[in-house]
Amino acid sequence: SHLRSGWNSAGAALLASPAALPPFLPLPLSPPSTPGRPPMSKRVWKLQEYTAHAGCTRCARLGEKSGQVLATGGEDRRVNIWKVGKSNAMMSLTGHNSTVECLVFDKQEEVLVVGCAGGSMQVWNLEYRKMAGTLTGHRTGCSSVEFHPDGEFFAS
């Protein structure tokens, strides 16, 4: 994930502007540790590479319930849903008006909310593989979306 801009809690001062930040900030990643073993001892990580999108893949999100479903979004205005470890997408969601910038699953992995560079958001019912609705209101692109912990609403 990356930060483009932000406001302090009082809304009084811009903390950073898009021009002041690089497009992506590197984040260190570390694998989970196992009790009783030092981190990274005698471990083999299976890495695989897939072609997920025509053009750049802009975002990816694992479903938290199962940890076995992955959604990716890209410059091709498409969202692909993958079963972790499989080389072919289980489904492809189309109909987005611009580059897919962010996405998030609900807790049950039944709903996917997608934010696009053009400012619109699409809500998908994954069980029926149908777009449930489109939301507008962003003056610029939608770069982040998260569900509230209780799952009743999301913010972007």
What does the pLDDT look like over 68-93, one tens digit per residue?
999 999 999 999 999 988 888 999 99
How far is residue 130 from each of residues 26, 48, 110, 134, measured CA to CA in Å? Answer: 34, 29, 11, 12
State yes or no: pLDDT of 12 exceeds 50. no
- Distance between CA atoms of residues 32 and 125, nearest Å: 32
Greater confidence (23 vs 82) lies with 82
Greater confidence (16 vs 103) lies with 103
Q: Using 50, 70 and 90 to split pLDDT, how confident is the model at 52?
A: confident
What does the pLDDT look like over 104-119, one tens digit per residue?
999 999 999 999 999 9
Greater confidence (127 vs 21) lies with 127
Q: Tell me which long-range contacts 65-72 makes (C-beta under 8 A, separation of at least 24).
A: 65/105, 65/107, 65/108, 65/109, 66/109, 69/105, 69/109, 71/103, 71/105, 71/112
Residue type present at position 78: R
- Distance between CA atoms of residues 144 and 141, nearest Å: 9
State yes or no: pLDDT of 103 exceeds 50. yes
- Distance between CA atoms of residues 5 and 21, nearest Å: 8
State yes or no: pLDDT of 11 exceeds 60. no
Residues paired with residue 81 on neighbouring β-strands, in sequence order = 71, 91
Q: Using 50, 70 and 90 to split pLDDT, how confident is the model at 63?
A: very high
Fold of 53-156: Methylamine Dehydrogenase; Chain H (2.130.10)
